[in-house]
Chains A and B, each alone.
Chain A
Amino acid sequence: MTSAPLALIIFAAGAVAGSLGALLGLGGGVFLVPFLNLGLGFPFGVAAAISLTTVIATSSSVSAARAGKQLINMKLGMLLEVATAGGSLLGGVTAQLVAQSTLQRLFGVLSALVAVIMLSRLRRRNVILDPTVDPGVLGGRYHEAESGGVVTYRVKRLPVAIGASFLAGSVSSLLGIGGGFIKVPVLNAWCGIPLRAAAATSAFMIGVTATAGAVIYYGHGQLVPALAAAAILGVQLGSWGGMRFGAAASVKWLKVLMAVVLFVISVMMLARGIR
Chain B
Amino acid sequence: MSGTLDRGAALPGAQGGDPQPLEVVVGLVLRAGVTLSSACLAVGVVLSMFGASAAAADILLHVGVIVLLATPVARVVASIVQYVGGRDWPFAALTAIVLLELMASVVAALVFNKRL
Contact = CB atoms under 8 A, between A and B. Distances in A.
Contacts of A56: 68-69, 71-72
A228 interface: yes
B22 A74 contact: yes
A147 B2 CA distance: 33
B105 A208 contact: no
Given A141-B16, A215-B105, A78 B27 contact: no
B53 to A, nearest CB: 11
Contacts of B94: 78-79, 81-82
A86 interface: yes
A135 interface: yes
A218 interface: yes
A54 B40 CA distance: 15
Interface string B75-116: 110010000000000010011011001101110111111110
Interface in A63-88: 63-70, 72, 74-75, 78-79, 81-82, 85-86, 88
B106 A215 contact: yes
Interface string A179-218: 0000000000000000000000000000110111111101
Contact of A225 (B24, B58, B72, B111): B58
Contacts of B34: 57, 60-61, 64, 236
A219 B116 CA distance: 10
Given A67-B30, A212-B105, A220-B113, A230 B45 contact: yes
Nearest to B40: A229
B105 A216 contact: yes
A127 interface: no
Nearest to B104: A89
Interface in B10-39: 11-12, 15-16, 19-20, 22-24, 26-28, 30-31, 33-34, 37-38
A1 B106 CA distance: 27
Given A57-B38, A85-B101, A137-B2, A207 B72 contact: yes
B41 A232 contact: yes
A56 B41 CA distance: 14
Interface of B: 1-2, 8, 11-12, 15-16, 19-20, 22-24, 26-28, 30-31, 33-34, 37-38, 41-42, 44-45, 48-50, 54, 57-58, 61-62, 64-65, 68-69, 71-73, 75-76, 79, 91, 94-95, 97-98, 101-102, 104-106, 108-115
16 contacts: A60-B33, A60-B34, A60-B71, A64-B30, A74-B22, A78-B95, A81-B95, A137-B1, A208-B76, A211-B69, A211-B105, A218-B65, A219-B110, A221-B113, A228-B41, A228-B65
